[in-house]
Structure 1
């Protein structure tokens, strides 16, 4: 590649651990490593980005002060070797996590989402520059091709990969019993992760229920238009539902506890939301233990995704209604107004920072 073709790249960077250190700066050439060169179209903003900007999370690459953020991406290939299977104009999403250098048994098997020693790195989060730059490089093994008809909606692929992994593991666990035949799923939380979890549940032919504190607005409409049932208010009112599967996306302790206690027999609960801590609940662990054992219940945690899950997510999004997906993105912010993307506003579901206006 002739680096002179890509002399500079505007990028959004922070000093990890330093609050309010974000700035838009000009870097020399594309960020990252790899033989694929792509132009970033947009990045999605999520809670992890807010934590990094607040100074409570994130690690810069070794021997440098600043980190290029952005881990939810969509980019257009400008240059790629024939061996990569990609050509100029293809849309790609970069996989976030990279295996550790040891590597552990899971990373060696391509399942870096299950890293056993914690020495993995992550683009835009941990020791690797992210995708919030006009020009990026990506290694072929970590570039996932996106259906061209999705366009900028491909920015939803990374969060979709997280729920694709959750569903993959739910189904693997359910397969422990040949008689397993789930009918009902309860998703708690109607943010991007919850809505995408509901989408994948509906694609599996399940009766989908979504609980969230929002009583009106885009969230209830999205769930109902998906063909699901939307619930708000007190989650205890749903105890009679007894879902076969729960995908918990809030991390809110009271909701987590209710999800654990009121599944169907042989119920499976996937905890996909991270709790902030500081919320104490009174819990009779003996009663919970008895219920889980006697009813063959399973509770497990799930985070991140490997390439197979990105590919599952790409297939799920390609099969989804484009208009419905587009409504998940409630705000699009131009790069020049990047600060607006990090303002929490009523009605926000998914906020996207656009590096290039969608045509």
Structure 2
């Protein structure tokens, strides 16, 4: 079968579409036919810099952690049946789990010995067929169609909003999202669904990003200078506007950092001024990464509540497997590139 594989190379790593063996039963009791694979900045970073090579298969990693597939085989009596659409949860806890992993909160792993499908130590979902454990398969409403591939990135912002819901106790009115990529627009969606006045900032002035923002009923800004006032909740999705995120957080509010930029890409921070701002204004700043089953389920509920046409509007680049290379190109106007295995 065909798969997108990253190989160790003398210059770092290389990505190819090649033939690989059928998935091993040890990877899960569900056999899944891949329908779509989302490509994000994490995938591009792995291709550019190489994955953290595991010891079991040191020279090859099947890429892909944003999945959508159809179950081909399932054990008798399983809750998931052949024909069901599923998305794979990405992270797996340490075999000797920490306290968080032991209760299913492996996204908060303390010992760092987890693995992640398509990212760290385990093959991903970028093959024509893959295996999945029932406990790490999330059944998807067929009404979502191809937009079901957005479930994994939506789970990340569902976790971010869960954290914001816990810490911003007062009545919230305004939310700010920095970055209008798929993570940012999904963060805006969840903010709108909470009844907030949502503002989104990105660098482009025209195209899909402003349109998708306005179709949500949110306010789009192509420049930070267009903003006025502060915001009760801020979600920083770009990785380069950390200082602005904190500065725009209202007294008693919170900022959640989701994006990871290049080293020093967020500029310099005066720690003394930052300390004064956070302490005297009762602000909270937190970071979040990855997600667990509860966040996938919350994301699924959120996606089911929005018009499917809006979700499909995020899929600006739908590519057949034969054109997979184009999925790894970038441009400011693009939102989400998706590889369709059955196209």
Distance 1:168 1:182 in 2: 14
Distance 1:280 1:158 in 2: 25
Distance 2:281 2:95 in 1: 41
Partner-residue secondary structure (3-state), 1:264? strand
Unaligned runs of 5+ in 2: none
1:199 to 189, 196, 217: 189
Residue 77 (1) aligns with residue 63 (2): no
Shift of 1:16: 4.7
Aligned to 1:257: 243
Aligned to 1:318: 304
| Shift in CA distance, 131/292, structure 1 to aligned 2, threshold 3 Å | same
Q: Is the 8 A contact 1:30 1:134 kept in 2?
A: no
Q: Is the 8 A contact 2:53 2:59 kept in 1?
A: no
Distance 2:136 2:55 in 1: 18
| Shift in CA distance, 16/95, structure 1 to aligned 2, threshold 3 Å | farther
Q: Is the 8 A contact 2:90 2:117 kept in 1?
A: yes
Q: Deviations over 1:148-172 (max 9, x none)?
A: 1112111000000000000011111
Shift of 1:290: 2.0
Shift of 1:27: 1.9
Partner-residue secondary structure (3-state), 1:28? coil
Distance 2:197 2:266 in 1: 33
Distance 1:122 1:280 in 2: 27
TM-score, normalization by structure 1: 0.91
Q: Deviations over 1:242-275 (max 9, x none)?
A: 11000000110xx211211232210110000112
Aligned to 2:293: 307
Distance 2:61 2:208 in 1: 34
Q: Is the 8 A contact 2:239 2:265 kept in 1?
A: no
User: Greater shift after overlay, 259-268 or 121-130?
Assistant: 259-268
Matches within 5 A, 1:51-62: 51-60=45-54, 62=56
Shift of 1:295: 2.0
1:130 to 121, 124, 131: 124
1:108 to 79, 98, 102: 102
1:10 to 2, 7, 16: 2
TM-score, normalization by structure 2: 0.95
Residue 275 (1) aligns with residue 241 (2): no
Partner-residue secondary structure (3-state), 1:107? helix
| Shift in CA distance, 63/352, structure 1 to aligned 2, threshold 3 Å | closer
| Shift in CA distance, 313/350, structure 1 to aligned 2, threshold 3 Å | same
Unaligned runs of 5+ in 1: 1-8
Partner-residue secondary structure (3-state), 2:31? strand
